[in-house]
Chain A
Amino acid sequence: MKKSLLILSIFLASCFVCFAQVSDEQSEQAFKIMESTDDVLAYHGDYSATISLVIEKPGKPKESLQYKIFERTDSELMTIVQLFPEADKGNGFLRDGENIWSYDPISRKFTHTSLKEALGESDVKIDDINQSETHWRDNYTVSGFEEGTLGKFPVYIITLDAKTTKPSYSKVKYFIRKDVPLTLKEEDFSGSGRLMRTILIPKYTKVPAGYVPTQMLLRDELNKGENTQQVVSDLTFDTLPDKIFTKAYLESLN
């Protein structure tokens, strides 16, 4: 009796492994979908936007932050100016390639750091910012490929396992719209397979260059009630004057 149970368990386990495995064809399809999620986004040229963040933490009042962002993606130029709260108004950041300057309007001083240094202590890696075209294939293997529904949208559910140490999470699950390859939901898992963070992107805005995620909700799954909502507004894709990407511009705002 015991022997039969053991054989049955082994059979069931091997069936599970077989079904859980993703074929090469599906894997290729999954990577293509992931690559198309990058292509569909408006990541080129000049743009400016207002980013509002609402941070909710359990037992604490909501915290609101607002920034104005100007970026010239092709030249790796970026200027960020804090608009809210009033106490931090005028704080600024200027990125020029690998160099980053932060500006303190009270002391009217700039502090220089490099992108490497700025990211050195944080969870963000250079790969998260300077994503190569092959970053999906280089760093992940596809461990799950399904079709399903998220809200009213039919979606592909793609599970990726990190095969290198570059990704910040060892397993990530993406819910991608079938009609337009837009990521609607991302679930980040720890090495032990526990859900750590969920990112919901319910709203995209279509612009001539592509799509821009205009509403994003980051949910900390370990600390229930801790959420960050990001709303992008005042989005423009007009050519920005060069002076915006200068220290003088940050100084002139105060």
Chain B
Amino acid sequence: MGKIFKLALRNLTRQKRRNVILAIAIAFGFFVVTTIDGLISGMVGNLEDCITELTGGTVLISGYEKIPATQEGEKSQLVNIIRDKDYIKNIVEENNFDYKYFSSFTLSAGQVIFNGKKSMATIYGRNILDKDFLDNLQIIDGSVDNLSDPQALIISDKMAESLNIQVGDQLIYTTTTIYGQNNVADFTIAAIIKSNNFINSMQSYANIDTINALVNMPEGGYNTFTIYLNDKNQQTKVAQQIENLIRADGVNVSSRLEALKTNPANPGRGIDKQFTKEEFQWEGTKYGVVSLNDEIPAIKTVLSVVHTVTTTILIVILLIVMVGVSNTYRMVLYERIREIGTMRALGMNGKDTGKIFTTEALILCLIGAISGLILSVIVMGCIHLIPINIESLSFFLHKGHFTFKLSFGSIIVQYFLLILLTFFAVKGSAKKAAAMSPAVALRTIK
């Protein structure tokens, strides 16, 4: 095999220009496909990270109570509330899920008013003195020392700019309680953080006890628990496990499997219906467990569409290139016919002759593919260094830069396809070379 490999390698250096052109064609195909795949996967991944950042994790657990209607024609009221501070936390801690962190918070949506200016705001009531939480923030003005004030508010630079507000200023926040009544509170700007996109520019943070009091949430309560898993791919499995654990405790919980039956394309919506529909009535808290993929199934679909499209493009490019490879090796067979005859006369068997052809073509294609991959990685690295200041693209960027994500599985599939197609492209020439009689070959006059 070593000898065949050596011979194949030597043959490749004989017609350099032709082989280089073939390798470039293959490299170009791989470069285009790998770069597009990497770019779109990176963009979708950043969007997913953005949403994960917004929701706080990849597995989301909410609790709802239902207040029955008191009059005919009325609908019962759904209240987003988890009273038991430790129940979900204990489940997560006791079952050793592989998570980066988890958090519980009270989410409140409303409007901030400052000096006649209004802005939409989403305030996360949480433990703002938590070290892990603070480590994730990029504070550009103000100080962590200000956060001990119960009315402290952390806002984004974009919001500060739109309201023309500074650290130390007081603003008014209007919202509704968990029961739907209007309420208002004053907050003092304690810190301004850097935002990377439109979504997190609207996110603000305040002390959970302050927000709880504002929205009528009982002390120690919260409305959402999120788990940021180390491996995003485990989210559906973990969500299902948590749902089963809650059910095993005899506590009311949504059914993911039922949601998949009612809304197979969007299980998150199916789970929502298990809370909002009038036919579902319960007493106490009913938990809803969803993964981010359940909530936003489009992300998974987009990624799978991207991989399918890029693989199809690659197949088309490879098919075109393989026509060239096939023709080239027909030509090579004709050019080397006397050489084949000599080698066969010296004792090389037909099978090995064919193997030289196949190995030569495979080496050529792999060199092209690896070059395309390397070139793609270099180009992706260069593009990554360019800062992008386009607001509308901010969801797809990571800290203002394009990022690229290469799927190992996709690359393996693409290389496997290349080997397969190359094998078929030179199969005819290799077969002819193998079947050639030494005497006939040596007699041939070109």
**A residues adjacent to B (C-beta < 8 A):** 57-59, 116, 123, 125-127, 130, 132, 138, 162, 164-165, 167-170, 188, 190-192, 194, 196, 222-226
Contact = CB atoms under 8 A, between A and B. Distances in A.
Interface stretch (B66-74, B137-145, B307-315): B66-74
A196 B118 CA distance: 15
Contacts, number: 60
B180 interface: yes
Given A116-B75, A132-B71, A222-B174, A123 B182 contact: yes
28 contacts: A57-B116, A59-B117, A116-B75, A123-B182, A125-B180, A126-B74, A130-B73, A162-B181, A165-B67, A165-B77, A165-B181, A168-B181, A168-B182, A169-B181, A170-B181, A191-B181, A191-B183, A191-B216, A192-B183, A192-B214, A194-B184, A196-B184, A222-B172, A222-B184, A223-B113, A223-B116, A223-B118, A226-B116
Contacts of B184: 190, 192, 194, 196, 222
A126 B74 CA distance: 7
A141 to B, nearest CB: 15
Contacts of A222: 113, 172, 174, 184
A224 B116 CA distance: 7
Nearest to B75: A116
Nearest 6 A-B pairs (CB), nearest first? A58-B116, A165-B179, A190-B184, A190-B183, A191-B183, A223-B113
A193 to B, nearest CB: 10
A127 B182 CA distance: 16
A170 B74 CA distance: 20
A8 to B, nearest CB: 31
Contacts of B134: none
Chain B contact residues (Cβ within 8 angstroms of A): what range? Answer: 20 to 34
B75 A126 contact: yes
User: Max chain A CB contacts within 10 Å: which of B70, B179, B181?
Assistant: B181
A196 B75 CA distance: 27
B11 interface: no
B177 interface: yes
B176 interface: yes
Contacts of B70: 138, 164
A222 B183 CA distance: 11
Contacts of B116: 57-59, 223-226
B332 interface: no
Contacts of A224: 116
B91 interface: no
Interface in B329-358: none
Nearest to A194: B184
Nearest to A191: B183
A75 B53 CA distance: 49
A132 B73 CA distance: 11
Nearest to A116: B75
Contacts of B183: 170, 190-192
B75 A165 contact: no
Nearest to A221: B184
Contacts of A165: 67, 77, 177, 179-181
A223 B113 CA distance: 7
A137 to B, nearest CB: 13
Contacts of A226: 116
B180 A192 contact: no
B7 interface: no
Given A126-B73, A165-B181, 19 more contacts: A58-B116, A59-B117, A123-B176, A127-B74, A132-B71, A165-B77, A165-B179, A169-B181, A169-B182, A170-B181, A170-B183, A188-B182, A190-B183, A191-B177, A191-B181, A192-B214, A194-B184, A196-B184, A223-B118
